[in-house]
Amino acid sequence: MQSPLVAYLESQRRTPQWEFVLKSILLSLQEGVAPEALQVLARDAGMRAGGVMVIPPCESLAQMQQAANDRWAELGWGFVDFSEQLDRVVITHRYAPRVTAANGDLQRWVAGFLEGVYQRWFMSLGAGDELRVRQVPGGDADMVVFHFGR
């Protein structure tokens, strides 16, 4: 019997067309924009995407996790787990698309984009401006970790 993770990964096989376009755009941006500005641009793009790819009203973190995973499944963008801590929510996103290039890793752009999407989703559910989504160390090649809080 196949594990749920293996079944998920096998269901997400996709063609390389989108990566070709995205990689070309990101490499052009990377050559002309400072790394900090590229992070801001990625987060802004994620905020816009989160406004287009809305999630329905949720009354619990578990409902929000399910709604987010429904959206990511539509796109083949991995899945997320929300874990409530005392002073923050830990957001662990696994298996986002990998975008790498010979002259540098573009995964920071993907992480910035996800950060913006999650920020927009939390805001759409009533989070105030003082609560922020921020990437934190602890991820690996297949996982990005964020904290949502003060």
pLDDT digits (tens, 9 = 90+) for 132-148: 999 998 767 678 999 99
Q: What is the pTM of this model?
A: 0.83
Which domains, and CATH codes, for the chain? 4-149 (3.30.70.2590)
Q: For residue 91, what are its two tokens?
A: 């957001």
59-96 per-position pLDDT tens digit: 999 999 999 999 999 888 889 999 999 999 999 999 88
